[in-house]
Amino acid sequence: MKINILYIFIIFFYITSSCAGFNPREYDPRLSIKSNKSKLSLEKMKDISWLLKRVKDVNNFIKENPLDRDARVVRIYLLQLLTFYTPNPAYKLRYLEIGMKYLKDDLKYFPDEKGIKFTIISFFSQTFLFKGRVYFLNKARYISEGLEKLIKNDLGCCNGYAVFFLGRYYFKLPSFPISIGNVNKSKQYLEIALKHNPHLITVYLALADTLYGMGKKHEALSLLEKAKKITPITWFELVEYDIYYKGIDIQENWMKDDSWDKIKDVFKEVQHSEE
d(CA 56, CA 60): 6
Question: Smallest Cα–Cα separation from 135: which of 123, 125, 144?
Answer: 125
Residue 34, phi then psi, degrees to nearest 5: -100, 0
The DSSP code for 27 is: G
DSSP output for 162-197: HHHHHHHHHS-BTTBS-----HHHHHHHHHHHHHH-
How far apart are the C-alpha atoms of 119 and 238, rounded to whole Å? 18
Maximum CA extent, the chain: 85
pLDDT at 24 over 50: yes
pLDDT the model gives residue 101: 94
Which range has the worst mean pLDDT, 9-13, 42-46, 53-57, 72-76? 9-13
Average pLDDT, the chain: 84
Q: Alpha-carbon distance 144 to 16, whole Å?
A: 44
C-alpha 220/C-alpha 215 separation (Å) is 9
Q: What is the pLDDT of residue 265?
A: 74
CATH topology assigned to domain 156-275: 1.25.40
pLDDT tier for residue 128 given thresholds of 50, 70 and 90: low
**What span, in angstroms and rounded, lies between the C-alpha atoms of 60 and 45?**
20
Render the burial of 58-67: b for 16+ CB within 10 Å, e for the rest: beebbeeeee
Cα(182)–Cα(170) distance, rounded to whole angstroms? 5
d(CA 140, CA 197): 25
pLDDT band at 179 (very low <50, low <70, confident <90, very high): low
Residues in the chain: 275
Give domain limits for the chain: 156-275
Residue 23 pLDDT > 90: yes
Task: Give the DSSP per-residue string, 50-69.
Answer: HHHHHHHHHHHHHHH-TT-H
3-state secondary structure 226-252: HHCCCCCCEHHHHHHHHHHCCHHHHHH
Contact 79, 98 (CB under 8 A): yes
pLDDT tens-digit profile of 225-261?
A: 999 999 999 999 999 999 999 999 999 999 998 887 7
Cα dihedral 199, 205, 206, 208, rounded to 10, equals 110
Identity (one letter) of the amino acid at 107? L
Cβ–Cβ contacts within 10 Å for residue 24, how many? 22
